[in-house]
Structure 1
């Protein structure tokens, strides 16, 4: 396997002089675009490739997981929407990661992008210090600043996983 760099990079570098909210939103969007880029050009079978068995981690599962995470933090915790999970079930709480041959990137990507659109719309009227009206599974409340920071951390951690999985699939590397 030869190592190649992923050349197409649609990400926009966050500004080095923006204010706090703009910086948080830019970094979150940067990390969202990073995950999409790690999946670019791969077919569904490649996107289902496990990272390093026995781990179930795979790129398609990461996209589905992040759709769940976007929904959980912005729709449930920030605005208090009473929603079920998209993929996860009581029988399989990690069903977002546990993909099958029937699960497609087209569906997962569309769902993830819809959750991102909801997140942006729901966050827009709130200030960074505004507390979410919903509760996290721990029973705690969180302000929008904390949610943004956590989302950046969540994406950054999983983008590291995605980078290794992508390199395992076809040798492609990138930032």
Structure 2
């Protein structure tokens, strides 16, 4: 992804994916590329850089976005689609923005965030791969996923997650550029 001097390499793992796939392949590939973009934009940064805030009064940081997206993966795939009753990773009733508020410049916190994100992405990847069709549904009674509440198909969930990552990749671009001027990819 990057050379030893921190410059983007010509080897981009988002390229050369399937181009003539069916609906599932297309959606899965788009989400895979969005997830890779997050990893690529955060690569090579230490804890201080990962936790650096955007601008006052925002609490947004790259680390906060990793934690936020781990929460979204968990809520979407474990809770809604798999019906698991699992606690939030970083947020709580007391601190609804714990994903961003707790994003502090501590290497352990960074490691924990990436481990949580990768665990949730792995779970989601398996769930989607094992789903018999994109028509299976999960329940979104609190309308946390913008579908109006109620049943949502896996198809809608995948589109929603692609949208969620896409929405935040602009933030990630700006945050990374502010940290060290790196643009691209």
Does TM-score exceed 0.5, indicating one fold?
Answer: yes
- Closer/same/farther in 2, CA of residues 61 and 106 from structure 1, 3 Å limit: same
- Closer/same/farther in 2, CA of residues 70 and 6 from structure 1, 3 Å limit: farther
Give structure 1 stretches of 5+ with no counterpart.
none
Report the Cα distance in structure 1 between the residues aligned to 2:78 and 2:179, rounded to whole angstroms. Answer: 34
Report the Cα distance in structure 2 between the residues aligned to 1:153 and 1:104, rounded to whole angstroms. Answer: 26
Contact 1:59–1:165, Cα closer than 8 Å, also in 2: yes
Instruction: Tell me the equivalent position of 1:152.
Output: 162
Report the Cα distance in structure 2 between the residues aligned to 1:142 and 1:11, rounded to whole angstroms. Answer: 31
- Closer/same/farther in 2, CA of residues 52 and 89 from structure 1, 3 Å limit: same
Report the Cα distance in structure 1 between the residues aligned to 2:7 and 2:155, rounded to whole angstroms. Answer: 32
For the residue of structure 2 that corresponds to 1:124, the secondary structure is helix
For the residue of structure 2 that corresponds to 1:100, the secondary structure is coil
How far is the alpha carbon of 1:36 from its aligned partner? Answer: 0.6
Report the Cα distance in structure 1 between the residues aligned to 2:176 and 2:111, rounded to whole angstroms. Answer: 18
How many residue pairs get aligned? The number is: 170
Instruction: Tell me the equivalent position of 1:58.
Output: 61
Instruction: Tell me the equivalent position of 1:36.
Output: 39
Report the Cα distance in structure 2 between the residues aligned to 1:6 and 1:104, rounded to whole angstroms. Answer: 26
Matches within 5 A, 1:154-173: 154-173=164-183
Contact 1:67–1:115, Cα closer than 8 Å, also in 2: yes
Matches within 5 A, 1:1-175: 6-8=7-9, 10-13=12-15, 14-98=17-101, 99-102=103-106, 104-126=109-131, 127-132=133-138, 134-138=139-143, 139-175=149-185
Give structure 2 stretches of 5+ with no counterpart.
1-5, 144-148
- Bigger relative contact order, structure 1 or 2 (CA pairs below 8 A, ≥6 apart): 1
